[in-house]
Amino acid sequence: MSSVIAIDGPAASGKSSVARQLAEKLGHLYVNTGNMFRGVTWAVLNAGFDLKEKEAIAAYASELKLEFVNEGGHIHMLVNQRRLTDAELNSEAVNGAVSHVAQVSEVRTRLVEEQRALVARGDLVMEGRDIGSVVFPDTPHKFYIDASEEVRAARRSKQGLNDTVAMRDKLDSTRKTAPLIVPEGAIRIDSSDLTLDQVVEQVMGELRSRGVA
């Protein structure tokens, strides 16, 4: 059975950078599940749905052709055979819509299934909102990367991204299915006053003590 390192946390907490570096150091595959929700959202918007049409979105999402390719250790999702660009995945339209699409339970069910199937590809570092709580509740390696709201908003604007971090967090934390929580057994790291290297080192130290790294 492949090993899974679950990295959860709110928007712009630094979890993507941490997860990418960990995957590289450990030689695991890196999986960004936020990009999967973003990919489905891009397709939903491109097909012209109104975000209120939850049933139509659910039906459309279950028909989407989703494939996963390994590009240099990073798993990317193809949507209807299309490899979306970072600009498309992080557009203002997708930022504004993704947390609404992520509330549709059929979308979650479909993506959770795809995420679980990725263990067949090898050891994983998977980041998201519900990885330790719902997708892989049995993995012993769960980390929750946090940061203050001010620090997170500053990080996003430094990246030049116009994102509605607070709005997404509210929707993500209060939704009925798989809300953002600190999973049971997770180690919570507040990255507000830490450098990326310091956070990665804390996680690596913990994994070393468990004989994983």
What is residue 101's DSSP assignment?
Answer: H
Site string for ligand C5P, 35-74 (x = CB under 6 A): --xx------------------------------------
Question: Among 22, 102, 199, 203, which residue sits at the site for ligand C5P (rule: CB under 6 A)?
Answer: 102
Annotate 2-20 with DSSP letters as a single string: --EEEEE-STTSSHHHHHH
Exposure b/e, 194-212, CB count within 10 A at least 16 = b: beeeebbebbbeebeeeee
Category of 67 on φ-ψ map: left (φ > 0), alpha (ψ -120 to 50) or beta: beta
At closest approach, how far in Å is the CB of 78 from ligand C5P? 18
Hey, what are 1's tokens? 């059975």
Q: Does residue 130 belong to the site contacting ligand C5P (CB under 6 A)?
A: yes
Answer whether 118's CB lies under 8 Å from 31's CB.
yes
Q: Does residue 30 belong to the site contacting ligand C5P (CB under 6 A)?
A: no
Only segment of 43-51, 66-74, 125-133, 181-189 that touches ligand C5P (CB under 6 A): 125-133
Q: Does residue 97 belong to the site contacting ligand C5P (CB under 6 A)?
A: no
Q: Torsions phi, psi of 41, nearest 5? A: -65, -40
Q: Which is nearer to ligand C5P, 26 or 131 (CB)?
A: 131
Q: Does residue 125 belong to the site contacting ligand C5P (CB under 6 A)?
A: no
Q: Which is nearer to ligand C5P, 128 or 203 (CB)?
A: 128
Question: Among 39, 66, 124, 172, which residue sits at the site for ligand C5P (rule: CB under 6 A)?
Answer: 172
